[in-house]
Structures are given as C-alpha cells and as structure tokens.
Amino acid sequence: MKQPLLDMRGIIKSFSGVRALNGVSIQLEPGEVLSICGENGSGKSTLMKVLSGVWPFGSYEGEIYFEGDLVKASSIRDTEALGIVIIHQELALVKEMTVLENIFLGNELGSFARLNDEEMHRRTSELLARVKLDILPDTPIRELGVGQQQLVEIAKALNKNVKLLILDEPTSSLTTTEIEILLNIVSELKQQGIACIYISHKLEEVLALSNWVTVIRDGDHIDTRSVENLTQNDIISMMVGRELDEL
C-alpha cells in the first residue's frame, strides 16, 4: 500500500476523565478531501485540535503519522512546520493589524523571512487575488467582514508550506458568494495535491467537495465512506444512529 499523507490511529482524548474521543482513526492521501460529520459535541473539533497540536503529544492516546513519521507536536507551531495548517471556527487574526501584517505574522522563521517591504506587498497582493479578495494589503483587519477575514486566514495558510489544510466549520458565517470562493479554493488546492479536512454541517458542500466522509458520534468512529453513492440521508442516519424513517 502507498504511504498515506496522514494516518491517525486510535485517537483517545479525555477531559477530566470524560472521553471526548474514543478511538478515532482516519487516513488521507495527498490531494484528497476528507469531511468529518457529526452532531454538535461529537468530537470533531477535538480530533482536529489533537491533529494540529493544540492538544500536544502526550495529552492523548493513539498515534499520528504524517508522511510516515510519528508526530510528537507540542504546539501548532510544530505542526505548521510539518505543513499542517488549521483554520478554526473562531477567527484568529489580529484586529488592530493590517492584512499584510497578519499574513506575515509569526512567519519570521519561514521561507519569506528575508522579504523586503515591496516583496511582501507583492506577495500579499498575489495571495489576495488567489482568494478573490479585492482589498489592499494595508487594509486593517477590523475593516473586514467575517467572511473576508476567513479568506484572509486562507491566504495566510497559502503563504505557508501547507500540505494539509484543516477547515473547521469555515462557512457558518459566510455569504453565498464567499462560500463559493472558499469551495473553489479547496478544489484548486486539491488539484495541486494539497489535502484538506473539511468540517461542515452543510451536507451539500460536503458531498460536492469530498472524496471521503468520516462520521463521528459521541466520540466513536462510526464509519468512513467514499462519497460515491453516499447520500445526505446516509450521513444523517450515521450521525444520529438511526434510519431516517425511524425519526
């Protein structure tokens, strides 16, 4: 078998003795999109926090292999260095700074360390064009809407050496146009061999975008299915643990 990009095996995570994840395993190849579905509180974000180093190595059971190597991250800096970038539901940009400053913030160890001002402006303009944002690099974040900020976060991720992009419910507060842009970006990334984990309650988006759908219920891994022949009703049945006509 080909070596997967990501191989999470039997992840168990507890909070004060209560299990939020009860042995969840997922695999992903480069250029694939995996969606994770589950009701609120089922453990989706916790699984992504384990993957991205928010919950460090040693605070969970199970193993994470990325490009074949065991991941022992102690922070999101460590996972970003590997090419794993997470965009959380809660926005994380610094409101008082500009788009450019946010994009290059915390990237001083990255490959753009030696860019001068002009190069950073050019690079930021390119990234903004890629996410279809018609704003200037010097625009303060506080002047942007939530959806625009989400797209700036994606631009920031694209400025890093991203191999796996994690989007945790990114479209919950976006306009239809912004959702379209975001879904197009994910499709483009897919074509470039960048993998994506997508978390959304919008099952139409999930089915349109994904290769695989993993369903989690109460911290249990219910199933991972190919989207071929998978319907929205199939996903909902797995999420709630009953056939829909029983509901």
Q: How far is the CB of 215 from ligand ADP (least distance, A)?
A: 11
- By beta-carbon proximity to Mg ion, the closer residue of 45 and 171 is 45
- By beta-carbon proximity to ligand ADP, the closer residue of 103 and 239 is 239
- By beta-carbon proximity to Mg ion, the closer residue of 40 and 191 is 40
Q: How far is the CB of 138 from Mg ion (least distance, A)?
A: 33
Q: Which does 38 bind (CB under 5 to 8 A by kind): ligand ADP, Mg ion, none?
A: ligand ADP
Q: How far is the CB of 48 from Mg ion (least distance, A)?
A: 8
Indicate which single residue of 35, 45, 52, 159 sits in contact with Mg ion (rule: CB under 5 A): 45
CA–CA separation, 170 and 7 (whole Å): 23
Which range in 3-11, 19-27, 38-46, 63-71 contacts Mg ion by CB under 5 A?
A: 38-46
Residues 207 and 33: beta-carbon distance below 8 Å: no
50-81: string of b/e by CB count within 10 Å (b at 16+)?
bbbbbbbeeebeeebbbeeeebebeebebbbe
Beta carbons within 10 angstroms of residue 236's beta carbon: 17
Residues in the site for ligand ADP, rule: CB under 6 A?
15, 20, 38, 40-46
Q: How far is the CB of 109 from Mg ion (least distance, A)?
A: 29
Q: How far is the CB of 24 from ligand ADP (least distance, A)?
A: 11
Q: Which does 147 bind (CB under 5 to 8 A by kind): ligand ADP, Mg ion, none?
A: none
Q: How far is the CB of 164 from ligand ADP (least distance, A)?
A: 18
Which range in 17-25, 45-53, 127-135, 225-233 contacts Mg ion by CB under 5 A?
A: 45-53
Q: Which does 42 bind (CB under 5 to 8 A by kind): Mg ion, ligand ADP, none?
A: ligand ADP
- By beta-carbon proximity to ligand ADP, the closer residue of 43 and 137 is 43
Which range in 37-45, 128-136, 185-193, 238-246 contacts Mg ion by CB under 5 A?
A: 37-45
Q: How far is the CB of 191 from Mg ion (least distance, A)?
A: 28
Residues 166 and 52: beta-carbon distance below 8 Å: yes
Q: Which residues bind Mg ion (CB under 5 A)?
A: 44-45
